[in-house]
Structures are given as C-alpha cells and as structure tokens.
Amino acid sequence: MFFSLARLGFVVLFIFFSISSYSTTINLSLSAQPKRFIPFLATDSASGEISSYIFNGLLKFDGDMNIVGDLSDVYEIKNGGKSVVFHLRKNVLWQDGVPFSADDVIFTYKTIIDKNTPTPYAGKYRLIKSMKKIDNYTVEVDYPYPFAPALYSWMMGIVPKHILKNVKNIATCKFNQKPIGTGPYLLSKWKTSQYLKLSANSLYFIHKPYINDILYRIIPDKTTNLLELKSGSIDMAALSPLEYRYEMNDFVKNNYSVYFEPSGGYTYIGFNMKEKLFSNVEIRKAICMAIDRDEIKKTILLGFGEVADSIYPKNSPYFQKKTICSYNPKGALRLLNQLGWHKRQDGFLYNSKNQPFSFTIYTNDGNTQRKYAAIMVQEYLRRIGIRVKLRILEWQAFIKMINERHFDAIVLGWQLGADPDQYSLWYSKSDFKGGFNFVGFKDKRVDKLIEEGRRTFDKEKRRKVYIKINDLITKQFPYIFLYYPTTITIVNKKFKGIKPKKAGITYNFIEWHE
C-alpha cells in the first residue's frame, strides 16, 4: 500500500514538474512594427497585442465574456451605480519586484486624464467625479451619475507610479520601449523591424505561464508570412478565407488545429449624410436593396461569415438577427423612380435637373476584402443605373479624408469590444472632426437612449435600451452593413490546453503547454 501511494505521489510530482518546467517557445508574427506599449497609448494593433501580455487592468473578461477581477479580485457597485470600490490583490508585484498598490491605480487615472497625454481613451475617465485611496489595497471611484460603461473602462492596463512619476512626456519616454508591467510576460528582447521576444514572468500573481517565450517576427509582406507559415516556422496565425481554402488546406489539416470564431466586428458602407444626395433615408434604403449582400459574403468570405444587420457584432449579447433589407433591385429602382430618378437612353439615372445619380466610394489600400466588396457594390449599383467611382487610398490619406469629412461614401469596418455603449459612433455630438460619428448621424431619440443606457445597470433593462438603439439606427440606413467575417485561427497541433470559448482561444494562454 505504501509503495502504491509513493508511486502515485511520484507520478503527480512528475506531471507537475514536467508542466511547470517547460521551456517552450511559440513563434508568431506581426505585420507592422509596434510603436508604444503603454496601454492607453498603444492604439495600433501590433502595440496593443504586445501590451496586453505585459499589463493587467483592474478587471477582465473570462472565457464566457463575463466581467471578472484581474488586479482587483473583488469590486463593489454602490450608491445606485455612482460609486465603484475596487479591492486590490495583495500578492501582485511589478516585473521589477516592487509591490503593486492603490497608488499605481490613481497614478494611471491621473495620467490618462492629463491634458498632455495623447490618448483617445480619456473621455470615460474624465467623467469621474473623484477617485480616492481608502488604503493601500482599496480604491473608490465616484461618478456624478450611474455610469454603466465604467466597469469596461477599468480593463485598461495599469502602469507603475514608481517608474513613471517623474516622467515629463509620457508619449516619448523610454518606458514605451522598455515597459514594466504586472502581466504574465515581460519584454526581454526587441530588435527594431526584426523581432520581439516576450519571456514568462516568474512573478506573475496567478502562476508563471507554461509557455516560456513568445517570439514575434515582424513580417509586413503577406506572401512572405504565408511562406513562413507553410514552412512551419510560425505556430499560430489568422488566415483569410482565401488563404485557408486554397493556399493552406492540406498543410493545415496535417499540422495545425483550426478554430472558427465569430468576429467582434463588421464591414460596412458608410454614407456622408451631410451630402444632399444621402440626406434622404429612402435613397439610402434603395441602395441597400440594390446590393446582394449574401452574394458578397459568399464571394469575398467564401462562406466564412454572415450578412450583417446590426450595429452590434455577432458575438454580442445585444445582437438580434433581423434582416434590415433584402436584395430587390427592381424594388430599389421603383423606389428611386418615386423619388424622381429615371433612366435615360444611356441606362443611367438622372433627376429632373438632368443631374446623374453619381458618387464615389472610398476605401483603404491593403485590405483586399474591402476593395473587392467595393467593386461588387459598384457593379450592383451600375445595374440599376447608378454611376459609382472607386478610389483606393493609402491608409493615412484615407483617415485624413474621413476626419475632414471629404467623402461621399466609404467601405470600412469596426472591430468592437464587449461594451455596448454607442456614444462614440452614434451620439450626435460625436460628429466633430476627428470623432467616430463621421457619417453625421443625428437622432434625438437615439441620443436619449444612449444616455439612458449609460446610466442603467440592470442587465435586462439595459438590453432593452440597446435593442431599441439598434432598431432606430438600422432603419435609417446611415450604414449598409455588409458582413460579419469569421475569424479563422490556426495553431500548431503540438500546443495543448486550448479551450475555445466566447472570448476566443487566448483568454487562457498562460495554461497552454506543449
């Protein structure tokens, strides 16, 4: 009996040490050079991805997209939603060994709202009425009114006061390239334009990750990246439907596990509603009816996705499947005839002033799916007599044009978080230059509901508010929602411990092992 128990103990110890002593490296790639790793300055996708491994917020999502504690293991909502009290973990160390405390949380808040900090995330923090330290491990945040999006904002990474307190310019300081966080990985090597290496943090408060190193190679060229993937030198990647079906099929089946997940975003056509041509909702509706969105989905996504009909991504609890318009080119033409647009001998539509129905669709260079979506839209509209020109712009020129409102229509996409707050996209006062409501949507009913949603904590009441917002917006066609892409992620089969959930596959990355 003693021998059996001893042997069992040996087996348990062997399993424990064989997992905890992994020296595995996972090889990944980035398409662009990261810029800054401070969480509230990491606005590009490459910087944001790296930053997420180095820093923690007070809260996070679990695998089922529930808000749970991170640096704060317990939080309390008080005063009808006007106050949030965060009880911080006491076993957290910064990656240089200094203890984490309430001072770091308050310092991060003050840095974000500082007028000299160039962050787009300051808005929700500037709403805070007061923030006070109760003790070293308790912070109370007070708002002037119940503010439901508050919890989502505290998923922002916290930065160390002891390192940054005397920094004069947060945007250009060396910490952006040599970050110290509380997260599961620390930046151990960085060779500009070549690679970055993240190493497991042995001080991480949950446990040291089983994968010891994450090696990111910077590969801007898609063809090169695909060749590296085929050679087996990259262990995890997101594939386009075309790459998955025609370029990687057999190779992937033999060497990689494939995970299909609903995207957290959508692709759309946005109209400049301040242009006279698009000021009429019936015009926008007719354009929607003229476009075969199902065929676009099948052609561009090869079936890996769905037609979009909502302001919310498909994985949102506020998403409801409702068809906003069906493909009906004859009906679209009848509607345009009623609005005074008629075909001439050349096959195109003109109004009573002999003005052609003509406009330009813009999109950005480097996104093949958007480019071909725009080409297909151009053809559908030509069939009913609308002249459409296409312009493909370099990204910075495209963004400048949008910010200055110099466009007729655009093909673009949003990648959305779990927070259903629609303030930045649809609130009427968000149409300022540089704001995200660049289509110029205005509706007092929507404004009122957005304000109500921000102050409603009851889940069911909040859900009803956001469904009403969706219905009011989609019926006015400020966007024509095109498609929700499916994210296709492949991971080398040698990696175990992957448990796909609503949050995707990387929510439990520290548990992955070989």
Position 14 scores a pLDDT of 36
Cα gap 456→449, rounded to integer Å: 10
Position 418 scores a pLDDT of 79
Look up the CATH superfamily of 265-487.
Dipeptide-binding Protein; Domain 3 (3.10.105.10)
- DSSP for 338-358, written as a single string: HTT-EE-TTS-EE-TTS-B-E
Could you count the other beta carbons within 10 Å of the beta carbon of residue 330?
10
Position 23 scores a pLDDT of 58
Position 130 scores a pLDDT of 96
- Range 65-71, long-range pairs (CB < 8 A, 24+ positions): 65/315, 65/317, 65/418, 65/502, 65/503, 67/151, 67/152, 70/155, 71/100, 71/105, 71/158, 71/182
CATH code that applies to domain 22-32+177-261+491-511: 3.40.190.10
Cα gap 373→41, rounded to integer Å: 32
Tell me if 304 sits within 8 A of 239, measured CB to CB. no
Position 7 scores a pLDDT of 37
Tell me if 282 sits within 8 A of 335, measured CB to CB. yes
Position 43 scores a pLDDT of 81
> H or E element: which one contains 445?
helix 444-454
- H/E/C letters for each residue in 46-102? HHHHHHHHHCCCCEEECCCCCEEECCEEEEEEEHHHCEEEEEECCCCECCCCCECCH
Q: What angle do CA 312, 315, 321 make, to 5 degrees?
A: 60
Residues 6+ apart with CB under 8 A from 421: 148, 149, 152, 450, 453, 454
Position 154 scores a pLDDT of 97
Cα gap 57→60, rounded to integer Å: 7
Position 319 scores a pLDDT of 87
Sheet holding 130-135, edge to edge: 72-78, 83-88, 138-142, 130-135
Look up the CATH superfamily of 45-175.
Dipeptide-binding Protein; Domain 1 (3.90.76.10)
Per-10-residue mean pLDDT, the chain, length 514: 36 39 82 90 89 97 92 94 96 97 98 92 92 97 92 96 95 93 97 94 96 95 87 90 81 86 90 96 98 96 92 86 93 97 95 96 91 97 97 90 94 87 90 86 96 88 94 97 93 94 92 94
Position 500 scores a pLDDT of 93
Q: What is the pTM of this model?
A: 0.82
Strands 358-364, 479-492: pairing is unpaired
What pairs with residue 360 in β-bridges?
389
Position 481 scores a pLDDT of 96
Where are the chain's structural domains?
22-32+177-261+491-511, 45-175, 265-487
Cα gap 411→433, rounded to integer Å: 19
What pairs with residue 483 in β-bridges?
267, 307
> Residue 402 in 3-state DSSP?
helix
Tell me if 51 sits within 8 A of 39, measured CB to CB. yes
Q: What type of residue sits at position 391?
A: R
- DSSP for 321-332, written as a single string: ---S----HHHH
- H/E/C letters for each residue in 297-320? HHHHHCCCEEECCCCCCCCCCCCC
